[in-house]
Every structure is written in structure tokens, then in C-alpha cells.
Amino acid sequence: MLAPENGSNATLGERPAGPLVVESRNGSAPTVTIPCVAALVVRDRIRAALRAAFPRRRARLVLARSGNELGTILRTTLADSVVVDLGASGDEINRAFALAREFPSFPFVGLAPLRGADGPALAGAAEHEFAEVFAEGVDDGVLRSLIAPMMFSARFAFALWEPPPALGLEAPLQRLAWRHLVSHGGRPLRTGELAAALGVTREHLSRSFASAGAPNLKRVIDLVRLLAAAELSKNPGYDVRDVARVLGFASASHLSSTSQRIVGTKPASLARLRAVDIIDRFSQGRGRSRGSADQASRPQR
């Protein structure tokens, strides 16, 4: 679903592959977006392999023992990828296959010993469009590096890495702030947290970001979150409340008010909009609050 929307000529090497690293303004303190990996695991061997591949400092690993538990995780947590132990029982695997159809924004990856008896599970993974199936015991050592480029946050940042021209974010600090925002995949991020990550004060960042007629920083933060909400809304397994929950909005009403303010539409309509449509709507006078616009229009002393 996710694809670059701004016509950028940047190469893959210039864009993130995840975990996402964005340098601070002085280049001395990079910040990392920690991905979340959900997994249906029934065998101890697979559990140990995943814990080795995704240690706590590199990822948040959320384990489920059943397909129903995995479904609950996906409806309450923004998972960057989903790993399925294809050695689970038939019923649990079938439930995981169904979830792959309900949540196409997330790459589902299978782990299997690739024995002759695994044929039906492998065929099911292919039928339900799993992103990949890896051989357990063979690919364990490179599992994280194989899955990282597929992750939701990595693909979200890849698609939006270059600021859309309509936003007018041309200064180095503006572009750095934008890239830090998209690297979070729509997760909550406060202005103060962003400023600290970039090595500047909150006041300096807010003032510099909105210079030369660029949008207000808080509005752009909301824009990025709505771009993620629009992508997640395309998943049949999500309703508006689910999208609000996984992206950290206070409530579905909070998501609704943000959507109305930033793009002039209800959350239920986000699924029908492309990223370029949302950015175009935002650019039509919704990028600056009245207070910030009035302040920007005052002569500088």
C-alpha cells in the first residue's frame, strides 16, 4: 500500500531500511525508532530465536500463543511486522492466515523448518500473501536484517522521506525535523521530544520550522499522524476506534477532531484518500493555526 508520493528521485540508499536512525542537528546524537514485532509462537526454539534476533534495545517483541491473542495484539498495538511460527497447530495457523488478510499493511513472515510435512503451511502462507517464509535454524542469524526493510515504520518513512514540495520545507532543520517525524510511523511525538532529539530548544524549533510561510510544526506533526491513520484505515481488520488506539490518540473523538482540523474530513473517509490527497488538502490553508499565523504576520523587532 505504501509508496513514495512526492516524485522524489532519491535512491534506496538515501532512505531508511530500519531500525530508523535520524541524526541530530549537530550529528552527534542519533535517535532510533524502536520497532514493534508481534509474533505467534508455540515452540520454545522459535521463541528463543526471536528473542535473540530482536533484543530489547533493538525492538519491542510481543509474543502470542494463539491466533486470537495475536489478533488482540494487532488491534491494540502498532506492530511493524508479524512473525508466525508455522509449526503451530492447523487451527492457529489458519487464524494467522486470516489475520494476514485483515491487516495487509503489516508484513506477515513465516518461520518453518521446511520439511516435506510443512507443504500445506507453506502453501497457505503463499495463498495469504505472506511477505516471506524463512528457514528456521538457517536464517536465524540474519532474521532481523531480513525483516527490518519490510517493517511498517521503515516503509512509511521510505515513502515520505523527502518532504512534499507543497509543504515548503526546504531549510535543513525543517527537513531534518520532517524526517524524524516520519521515522516514527505516526506514533505520538511531542514538540519538546522532537526538539531534544534534534539538539535545539523547543522555542527555536517551533519558530524556525514555521519560517518562510511553512506550516506550523504542531500541525505537521498531526499531518504525519493522519497519513499513518489513513494507511491503517485501509486494513479491513481496523475500525476508527482501533486506528485511534494503535496510534495513541486519546480517543476516536480525538482522531475525528484532528482529521477535521487538518484535512477537513471525517476519519471514516481517510481510507479513500491517498497520501498526496491528504497533503493537498492540508496545503489548502490548514497548515497554520490562527494564532500562529497572526504571530508570523507581526513585524520582527
pLDDT, tens digit (0-9, with 9 covering 90-100), for 40-51: 999 999 999 999
User: Which position has the grid cell 522459535?
Assistant: 46
Residues of the chain with CATH 1.10.10.60: 12-22+152-297
**For position 85, what pLDDT does the model report?**
95
Q: Where in the chain do CATH 3.40.50.2300 domains reside?
A: 36-150
Given a contact cutoff of 8 angstroms between Cβ atoms, the answer to whether 180 and 24 are in contact is no
- Secondary-structure breakdown of the chain: helix, strand, coil percentages, each rounded to the nearest 5: 55, 10, 35
Cα angle vertex 146, ends 142, 152, to 5°?
140
Strand partners, 82: 38, 108
Distance CA 86, CA 94 (A): 10
Asked whether 179 and 157 are in contact (CB, 8 A), the reply is: yes
Three-state DSSP state, 164: coil
> What is the pTM for the complete model shown?
0.85
Phi/psi at 54 (nearest 5 deg)? -125, 70
Distance, in Å, from the CA atom of 185 to the CA atom of 98, rounded to the nearest integer, reads: 24
Position 187, amino acid = R
Question: How far is the C-alpha of 279 from the C-alpha of 287, rounded, in Å?
Answer: 10
Q: Nearest 5°: CA angle at 1, between 49 and 71?
A: 50
Q: What is the DSSP letter of 216?
A: P
Q: Residues 107, 111, 115, 118: is their CA dihedral positive or negative?
A: negative
Q: Return the SS3 of 63.
A: strand
Buried-state track 81-97, b at ≥16 Cβ within 10 A, e below 16: bbbbbbbbeeebbebbb
**What residues of the chain score a pLDDT lower than 70?**
1-32, 289-301
Q: What is the pLDDT of residue 118?
A: 82
Alpha-helical runs (H) found in 103-137: 119-127
C-alpha cell at 138: 538457517
Pick the CATH number of 12-22+152-297 from 1.10.238.10, 2.102.10.10, 1.10.10.60, 1.10.510.10: 1.10.10.60
Q: What is the pLDDT of residue 290?
A: 57
DSSP annotation of 235: S
**pLDDT at res. 138:** 81
36-150 topology per CATH: Rossmann fold (3.40.50)
pLDDT for the residue numbered 230: 97
So what's the pLDDT on residue 301?
Answer: 35
* CA quadruple 39, 43, 45, 50: dihedral, nearest 10: 10
pLDDT of residue 285: 81
